[in-house]
């Protein structure tokens, strides 16, 4: 079979172009657009445009992005490399889209609050406290978690005590007794046994809705911290 010059020409161009493409790929395989770990958070007006009317949908998509910002495209970024001022702004932008969800507090507590830098962990504890206080009866568990982050991650006992007092101040019969005892636990953990036992005694003396088992525990706590 005779192959025409035209076909040979086309095959030659195809071969050369393919070789050129492979060479280009080889030279530029490592080339990446520069990406920030966390981009600048959008303004409220930009959020309005990005939502296309569906603010809840945008909330979920952006929340998921914030969760994975540093860990996409094969990257794994330590939390220490994150700009926590931006994280905080992103969390607040998201809160503007949905006030009912726990997603932002989960991100702050379970993810960003686990950083080994106490200062930035403290930023997350304070964020959770402020966010939870918008609806304290519904979010009391998050207040308790903020105490944990402040005490064990931020190592900031004054902040932990302050959040614990906010938690203890929530007045709702559905809350367990230990939410009122939280300041006493924090005080005991910093060695202020007298204050801890006094506080527990005050709760014991004033509360009327405590079960016998809880009363026994509180008496034991007071005895142990005398």
Alpha helices in the chain (DSSP H): 5-28, 44-51, 55-68, 84-95, 103-106, 118-132, 140-148, 157-168, 178-189, 193-206, 212-224
* Residue 106 touches other proteins, criterion: CB under 8 A: yes
CA–CA gap between residue 129 and residue 209 (Å, rounded): 26
Q: Does 132 bind other proteins (CB under 8 A)?
A: no
The nearer residue to other proteins, 114 or 216, going by C-beta atoms, is 114
Q: Which stretch binds other proteins (CB under 8 A): 7-15, 48-56, 147-155, 197-205?
A: 48-56
Q: Which of 100, 171, 212, 213 binds other proteins (CB under 8 A)?
A: 100
Is 118 exposed, middle or buried, given 0-12, 13-18 or 19+ CB atoms closer than 10 A? middle
For position 135 contacting other proteins by CB under 8 A, the verdict is no
Decide: is 70 part of the binding site for other proteins (CB under 8 A): no
Among 42, 55, 89, 210, binds other proteins (CB under 8 A): 55
Nearest in space to 104 (alpha carbons), one of 164, 38, 59, 68: 59
Q: Which residues bind to other proteins, rule: CB under 8 A?
A: 45, 48-49, 51-57, 59-61, 63-64, 67-68, 98, 100-103, 106-107, 110-111
């Amino acid at each position: 079979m005779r192959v025409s010059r035209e076909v040979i020409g086309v095959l030659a161009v195809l071969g050369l172009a393919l070789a050129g493409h492979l060479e280009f790929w080889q030279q530029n395989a490592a080339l990446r657009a520069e990406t920030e770990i966390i981009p600048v958070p959008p303004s409220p007006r930009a959020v309005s445009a990005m939502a296309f009317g569906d603010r809840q949908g945008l909330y979920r998509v952006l929340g998921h992005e914030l969760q994975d910002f540093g860990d996409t495209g094969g990257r794994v970024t330590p939390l220490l490399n994150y700009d926590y001022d931006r994280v905080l702004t992103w969390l607040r932008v998201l809160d503007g889209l949905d006030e009912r969800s726990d997603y932002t507090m989960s991100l702050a507590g379970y993810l960003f609050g686990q950083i080994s830098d106490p200062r930035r962990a403290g930023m997350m504890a304070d964020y959770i406290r402020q966010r939870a206080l918008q609806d304290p009866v519904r979010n009391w568990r998050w207040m308790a978690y903020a105490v944990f982050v402040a005490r064990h991650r931020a190592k900031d006992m004054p902040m932990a005590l302050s959040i614990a007092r906010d938690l203890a101040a929530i007045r709702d019969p559905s809350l367990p007794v230990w939410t009122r005892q939280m300041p006493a636990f924090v005080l005991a953990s910093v060695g202020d046994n007298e204050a801890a036992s006094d506080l527990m005694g005050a709760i014991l003396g004033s509360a009327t809705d405590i079960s016998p088992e809880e009363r026994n525990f509180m008496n034991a706590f007071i005895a142990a911290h005398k």
